Amino acid sequence: MVVIEYHGGKKDDAPVALVGKGLTFDSGGISLKPAKGMDEMKYDMCGAAAMIASIATAAAMKLPVNIVAAVGFTENMPGSSATKPGDILKSYAGKTVEVLNTDAEGRLVLCDVLAYTIDKFKPKCVVDAATLTGACVVALGNDIAGLFSNDEELAMSLILLVDSAIVRSGELRAAVAGVDDDNPYSARNIFRSGSVRTECETYAKRYDKNQTPHGKSGINCGVSLIFYLSLPAAAWVAWNWAAGSRSLTSW
């Protein structure tokens, strides 16, 4: 995990937190991805790239705000020490996760980065960018990014500045993912069913070390959350490195 801080605001002001997924290559692990398009998986770090670009731009512009960017870097490859389907992992927040598919790794990285950032920096809001799930492409197509938020005002303030089409949280509800009645662990990293749903709310709310009750607005625990979910890899390169960081800096 890489943490970058920029102090442009007042000393006691809570920072804006930028969290990004930085999978430098995602083969899917033991749950190997199809060969077609595998070369594009080097772009699975674009969420992290956008956040680093955003805080670097803010610092260069000397913006009067405190910012912390936290990004999780790793690669997802098969190997003797790789995560296996059936493994039980314990997160930074102390919750357990049953791994059903090793290609659902990004949310496991993000849940720890989100929980750590909220716990250590007590930010006033969090923006998370990630190429997290192909289900978003199934739901929205190749040219639309998904946005999920537990704070409509915060979401709208960013939507007004974003250069690509985004679906608001009120129009496409995030599902509570991987919480099955027969699951003895805190969560699973994918659904057992084939439903096209997202896991973002689960891994933000359930993996907050402050034990924020599910369904409560982030405002109640001093944190608001916005989530970007995946676009096709090539589109994310353009969006994250250009429009994404530009929009976040303007916001």
Catalytically annotated residue among 21, 95, 107, 188: 107
Report how far Cα 81 is from the mean position of its chain's Cα atoms: 25
Cα 57 from Cα 93, distance rounded (Å) = 31
Q: 75 burial class (0-12, 13-18, 19+ CB within 10 angstroms)?
A: middle
For residue 75, the cross-strand partners are 25
Element (H, E) at 129: strand 125-129
Tokens of 249: 């800096």
CB within 8 A of 100, min separation 6: which ones? Answer: 85, 86, 188, 189, 190, 192
Catalytically annotated residue among 10, 11, 21, 33: 33
Q: Is 106 helix (H, G, I), strand (E, B) or coil?
A: helix
Does the annotation count 33 as an active-site position? yes
Q: Is 214 helix (H, G, I), strand (E, B) or coil?
A: coil
* 211 DSSP assignment: -
Does the annotation count 107 as an active-site position? yes
Element (H, E) at 97: strand 96-98
Positions marked catalytic:
33, 107
